[in-house]
Structure 1
């Protein structure tokens, strides 16, 4: 027998499982289905969330640093007025104008030194008029440092024509703006700011951000050119930041605001409804896994309870032969662990097959995958470990009952 070299508890556990083949097959099938559902749903929802977040964050930073807004402070009346009385019942806030972040170079250096920060890039942006012949369009020009900004927003897969080259007099525009003004790569585009500054910029690339409004309004040039156009004298209107953990963006934003004194808005705060939807999906996924795992645990426990009843006489004989209670306990714990492990192996195979079929069958109208799925080895390893632990925990109560059986009573039936 191939089990001759195994410890005693393993030999008895395997023998009990063999004798109840039908029960063993059914419980392994139940565990496999449960694990398969958990693996499939976890990978599916993870891929869906990753796709949503990728679409939302592909054109923006995780955290945006801004100059604090200007506020109006009410003034008190003269000394003859009642103490604490304020002048004026209505206080109008001032017009918010584009203003450079105070000592932004020091802010950038300070933020880059913080742990968890990935990329920091200054941006100078403002409204200008794009002029081509008799056609004009109000657009937003963003002055960037290409080396750092393109690490935040990856334009390599958004570029339609031309190149991402940005020198002193170059500009990148969206596809909609290109169509509206009738311009293409290599053409000159005259840009006029509110202060009267005008520059003729060469279109080096045309991009598609996946949003019609953004393609109509967004343009990019060098940081120095934007500063010159907007008369900012070396200033920047924002500092774009990406972090290693996107779900910790709000915590990092609060930490940055406390350390630097600037206003820090995270994508979680700016997209509160979207983040709430993502959190709801995560909660639903956790609930599904919990209840499926609970059903698997009850299935294993019920089978082992029946096994204890059926094997009472054998357990009594084993106890009369000198087998200790701890060994009997380990016999049934091993059965639970083996059922959980065996079912999880089959379940992982079922989950992987279902994910492969989903990728092949779930397609967009153009034939591309609906959204990418990742076969994360950690997910399968975690499913194996959790299913085995669930089997052990589910087997504890029946194992304890078996260990407490009185040998004489068990043998008499």
Structure 2
């Protein structure tokens, strides 16, 4: 037998020898740990990719947070009907001093981008065709920081100079329009303007593609009778999941109505949270089953090697050394299992990418495995191995040498 290097600690020598002597058990538990780690990594990457894809599609035409003018105060209808409150007819209103509010918002660390928008109902007219639309007046260089509109252009370009308009592919189909055609926009105020179609977009949402129409901010202000004003301010946040907390804070500080994407899509957000909780529960029970597997194997190892442990104790090995030997076994099993599991997870993800494709052959959605996920999972598996080995290790360290040798 080849002698081991003298610099190796006793615990490492004993732990690796015990693992080699029980090769079948060791291999079985390493494979078990590997399968558990593979399931955790694969499921985490799959759910993260799925959630990112769903959120991306849901928010393709929606800001993380929108600031709106406060609702007009209702008024009583005469002294005799003081208790009867009539809500004023809703009309387009501008945010007071919106330039100062925009400057203030841009200085907040939670906010990544700010975009003022003038929007309202209108009609798109071409020949005999007449379609109800939502007109958006934007500053493109600011708006694309909130809504990824420039990457959604499928024909032409995102340009909103005077006399130019960008429409969705569904609206273009319904009106029989294409690039370079003229389109007449008629607002509810009665103002009209004839614009040239310079771009077509596809937001991945049929409703948005048939209703949203983008023009320059000044053009929309003139059409909607919002001279110099904006109807709302769109915000992109650095942490989109903190939108509701920030919305409540901004509403209190500015007096404006703050609608977050979480509030607007409350059922969708609840579904995301439920999915996240169920995923965490599955991961917990997988880790628990891995821990019980490691613990059971090491308990059997302690019983099988009771005489060897007794001899080691009689030769001078301390309780601490025996304890660390079995803890090290648990850590080694967890680390090797996590390495095997990471390889299995990468293989499963490669197969998934080949099988889960759209009819045109493109991936159904992107799945990425960040290195941090593998490192955290490997560290977690090693920690689970050490914790699972704690009870068998204490039992081994507590064996009386004489009793153990006698069997």
Equivalent of 1:144 in 135, 138, 154:
138
Equivalent of 1:404 in 373, 395, 398:
398
Match of 2:92 in 1: 98
Query: 1:53-97 deviations in whole A, cap 9, x for unaligned?
Result: 11111211100110111232558959xxxxxxxx45543322221
Equivalent of 1:63 in 51, 56, 65:
65
Q: Displacement of 1:255 after TM fit? A: 2.0
Q: Displacement of 1:149 after TM fit? A: 0.4
Q: Give me the whole-angstrom Cα distance separating, in 2, the residues matched to 1:270 and 1:345.
A: 43
Query: 1:223-264 deviations in whole A, cap 9, x for unaligned?
Result: 011011111121100100000111111112122222222111
How has the CA–CA distance of structure 1 residues 396 and 73 changed in structure 2, closer, same or farther, with 3 Å as cutoff? farther
Does the CA-based 8 Å contact 2:124-2:133 persist in structure 1?
A: yes
Q: Give me the whole-angstrom Cα distance separating, in 2, the residues matched to 1:345 and 1:389.
A: 14
Query: 1:267-320 deviations in whole A, cap 9, x for unaligned?
Result: 011001111111111111101110000000000001111111111111111111
Q: Unaligned 5+ residue runs, structure 1?
A: 79-86
Q: Give me the whole-angstrom Cα distance separating, in 2, the residues matched to 1:89 and 1:58.
A: 44
Q: Superposition pairs for residues 386-405 of structure 1, below 5 Å?
A: 386-405=380-399
How has the CA–CA distance of structure 1 residues 40 and 112 changed in structure 2, closer, same or farther, with 3 Å as cutoff? same
Provide the TM-score with structure 1 as the length reference.
0.95
Q: Give me the whole-angstrom Cα distance separating, in 2, the residues matched to 1:75 and 1:306.
A: 85
Q: Give me the whole-angstrom Cα distance separating, in 1, the residues matched to 2:388 and 2:4.
A: 25
Q: Give me the whole-angstrom Cα distance separating, in 2, the residues matched to 1:383 and 1:216.
A: 45
Bigger mean CA deviation after superposition, 213-222 or 20-29: 213-222
Does the CA-based 8 Å contact 1:144-1:221 persist in structure 2?
A: yes
Match of 2:369 in 1: 375
1:7 aligns with 2:1: no
Provide the TM-score with structure 2 as the length reference.
0.96
Q: Give me the whole-angstrom Cα distance separating, in 2, the residues matched to 1:42 and 1:328.
A: 37
1:341 aligns with 2:343: no
Q: Give me the whole-angstrom Cα distance separating, in 1, the residues matched to 2:148 and 2:368.
A: 21
Match of 2:186 in 1: 192
The number of residues matched between the two structures is: 405
How has the CA–CA distance of structure 1 residues 313 and 188 changed in structure 2, closer, same or farther, with 3 Å as cutoff? same
Equivalent of 1:175 in 159, 169, 172:
169
Does the CA-based 8 Å contact 1:39-1:351 persist in structure 2?
A: yes
Match of 2:254 in 1: 260
Does the CA-based 8 Å contact 1:111-1:256 persist in structure 2?
A: no
Match of 1:227 in 2: 221
Q: Give me the whole-angstrom Cα distance separating, in 2, the residues matched to 1:56 and 1:26.
A: 44
How has the CA–CA distance of structure 1 residues 3 and 352 changed in structure 2, closer, same or farther, with 3 Å as cutoff? farther
Q: Give me the whole-angstrom Cα distance separating, in 2, the residues matched to 1:146 and 1:226.
A: 13
Q: Give me the whole-angstrom Cα distance separating, in 2, the residues matched to 1:307 and 1:134.
A: 85
SS at match of 1:123: strand
Q: Unaligned 5+ residue runs, structure 2?
A: none
1:353 aligns with 2:355: no
Match of 1:16 in 2: 18
Match of 1:121 in 2: 115
Q: Give me the whole-angstrom Cα distance separating, in 1, the residues matched to 2:86 and 2:123.
A: 29
Match of 1:81 in 2: none
Q: Give me the whole-angstrom Cα distance separating, in 2, the residues matched to 1:383 and 1:366.
A: 35
Does the CA-based 8 Å contact 2:168-2:213 persist in structure 1?
A: yes
How has the CA–CA distance of structure 1 residues 76 and 297 changed in structure 2, closer, same or farther, with 3 Å as cutoff? farther
Match of 1:208 in 2: 202
